[in-house]
Structure 1
């Protein structure tokens, strides 16, 4: 049997066992897993030991069963859509009313962007690019500026160039992140998508890190127009924060 086949089978066994523990709940025993999956006992125990060692599973206090572990929290968080309370949605909707540009709420989770409340009248065109390449969007740069003091702000390797205006020089990007921390908001013009522009304002507790961004987006030629709403957007984020955090 090849290395790939062996490890593919081990990964599948792990996923199947995690699924059973999630379904049966805290205290699921090795026997229950063996009986449910009709899997050899030796395979079950070997896989369980590996999952416990990697903290995907933990043993219950009586050592008789298993429960989902801490290492799964990141996966669960990534798979769960951000929750935006109705009160927060109402605040955002009121701010959107009468505006001729997009207003989006983007959450920061585990050093990644998540779309929490997308403007229904002005959809985000480059969703994949925004989520995958944070250095190219205003919301992403705001998040990177927040992360810079506690973690590497962007991964190793070349920065993807989405348009001719996308910043791909790390030194230039680091300088811009420093400016964002001073100004308290981020911007981009034609960097994520040719012909578009946006501003991003941090949403978080007073004197605390931002956990989200309020984004104003428009065609690039109307960027000056959305800049006129800078103070209104800042005021709105302070009203919005208590409902989110």
Structure 2
């Protein structure tokens, strides 16, 4: 098997990614010689990068020490790049709930301390989606995730919480009080915190062990938040139906 890089002069910074690609293509047991031959890479360069990838656990040596395999740390990259899996049955249940609903309905899944859009309402796209994913302290789904994690360490302590609107909670003490309340009530909300004029209610979708693996969210104009809350019990019931279809 021969593989040739598509770029004639790849940058030094791309070498680790090129090596990972070769090991992924060739499979467990890929040797250093196979890597250098495939990439036309100087052996000294290849061994330096290989040693660094092994040290960082992106690669692992095979038991006979003759070759390499993808390491434990690569799973985080794969998870981040792979869209959340939502079964056809789960999508059908969500679509049924959306029918005739006046508010946006979204399914947001939790992965490794981050939010992932699993099923976005096609009629009411997430707004603003980037801010919701990047700043969990400002969204209902994000607060539900932080409450499950048990703290408000996103971003890490020492870094300020981003203030997206004048209503965004940026005091960690106040946020932690809200997270404690979310753990008690089993629901999270935000009004004008993520974006001025919007509001959202998030209900937990639980894994078999009882932990929270996703948020079922209802969103709409902030002045309509009381009306959104009128659907809370129906949304909670649907979240229970979703759980075995997702996890």
Give yes or no for TM over 0.5: yes
Match of 1:237 in 2: 239
Following TM superposition, the consecutive aligned residue runs of length 4 or more in structure 1 with deviations greater than 3 angstroms are 8-11, 151-154
Cα RMSD over matched residues?
1.6
Return the alpha-carbon distance in structure 2 between the equivalents of residues 101 and 88 of structure 1. 19
Q: CA deviation at 1:60?
A: 1.9
Return the alpha-carbon distance in structure 2 between the equivalents of residues 202 and 116 of structure 1. 14
- More helix per residue: 1
For residues 1-245 of structure 1, the aligned pairs below 5 Å read: 11-148=13-150, 152=153, 154-156=155-157, 157-205=159-207, 208-245=210-247
Structure 2 SS opposite 1:58: strand
Q: CA deviation at 1:63?
A: 2.2
Return the alpha-carbon distance in structure 1 between the equivalents of residues 44 and 208 of structure 2. 54
Residues 219-242 of structure 1, C-alpha deviations (whole Å, 9 max, x = no match): 111111110111111111110000
Q: Does structure 1 retain, via aligned residues, the 8 Å contact 2:106–2:120?
A: yes
Q: Does structure 1 retain, via aligned residues, the 8 Å contact 2:141–2:188?
A: yes
Name whichever of 96-105 and 10-19 sits farther off.
Answer: 10-19
Q: CA deviation at 1:12?
A: 2.2
Q: Does structure 2 retain, via aligned residues, the 8 Å contact 1:26–1:66?
A: yes
Name whichever of 11-20 and 219-228 sits farther off.
Answer: 11-20
Q: How many residues were matched structurally? A: 237
Return the alpha-carbon distance in structure 2 between the equivalents of residues 140 and 131 of structure 1. 8
Q: CA deviation at 1:27?
A: 1.6
Return the alpha-carbon distance in structure 1 between the equivalents of residues 153 and 124 of structure 2. 33
Q: CA deviation at 1:11?
A: 3.6
Q: Does structure 2 retain, via aligned residues, the 8 Å contact 1:88–1:243?
A: yes
Q: Does structure 1 retain, via aligned residues, the 8 Å contact 2:136–2:154?
A: no
Structure 2 SS opposite 1:106: strand
Return the alpha-carbon distance in structure 1 between the equivalents of residues 11 and 118 of structure 2. 36
Task: From the superposition, tell whether residues 205 and 13 of structure 1 become closer, same or farther in structure 2 (CA, over 3 Å).
Answer: closer
Structure 2 SS opposite 1:243: helix
Return the alpha-carbon distance in structure 2 between the equivalents of residues 112 and 140 of structure 1. 8
Normalising to structure 1: TM-score of the pair? Answer: 0.93
Structure 2 SS opposite 1:16: helix
Name whichever of 36-45 and 181-190 sits farther off.
Answer: 36-45
Could you list the runs of 5+ residues in structure 2 that have no partner in the other structure? 1-9
Return the alpha-carbon distance in structure 1 between the equivalents of residues 209 and 71 of structure 2. 32
Return the alpha-carbon distance in structure 1 between the equivalents of residues 235 and 56 of structure 2. 44
Return the alpha-carbon distance in structure 1 between the equivalents of residues 211 and 224 of structure 2. 30
Q: CA deviation at 1:106?
A: 0.2
Residues 30-63 of structure 1, C-alpha deviations (whole Å, 9 max, x = no match): 1110101111112212211221111100112332
Q: CA deviation at 1:64?
A: 2.0
